[in-house]
Amino acid sequence: MNTAEIVKATIRIAASPEEVFPYLVDPALIVAWIGTSADLNPQPGGVFALDFPTTQARGTYISVEPPERVVFTWGIPGNAALPPGASTVEIVLKADGDETIVELTHRDLPSELRPSHREGWEACLEALRKTFTS
């Protein structure tokens, strides 16, 4: 796959992977950094559903490996270019001293949606970082 087809976002957080991981799988915590409500069943084949003020994201968990990796599918109901489950998001947490490097990779996005998703993921990861600094 051409790396231009992949959206990547990386951020450093002042917390351990064990502290950050619940923010990827707990519906009450995930909304601290992305979406307004969530329905999550963090196990392979489990529901991944986020609601935003103007849209929704729907998919399923592919892999859940505490405290270092989560993979889920991603799509938007009613969006022909990106239907539910059409793309894949992988989030990897790497310990670096007493901090964590969060690496997010979003694959299989249509080219016209990559810029907005890159911007969105960067903003969301910054919000995640801020949950550990306030």
pLDDT in tens, 60-75: 999 999 999 999 999 9
> Can you tell me which residue has the tokens 């990547």?
8
Q: Who has greater pLDDT, 38 or 5?
A: 38
Q: Model pTM?
A: 0.94
pLDDT of residue 133: 87
Residues 6+ apart with CB under 8 A from 39: 27, 47, 49
- Looking at this protein, which amino acid is placed at residue 134? S
CATH number where 123 lies: 3.30.530.20
Q: Who has greater pLDDT, 126 or 5?
A: 126
Domain that residue 39 falls in:
3-131
Inter-CA distances, 87 with 1, 20, 56, 79, 119, Å: 14, 23, 14, 12, 17
User: Beta partners for 4?
Assistant: none
Q: Apex CA 43: angle with CA 107 and CA 18, to 5°?
A: 85
Percent over 70 (pLDDT), the chain: 96
> Can you tell me which residue has the tokens 């080219």?
111
Taking residues 105-115, what's their average pLDDT? 95
How many domains in the chain? Answer: 1
Q: Kindly tell me if the per-residue pLDDT of 122 is higher than 70.
A: yes
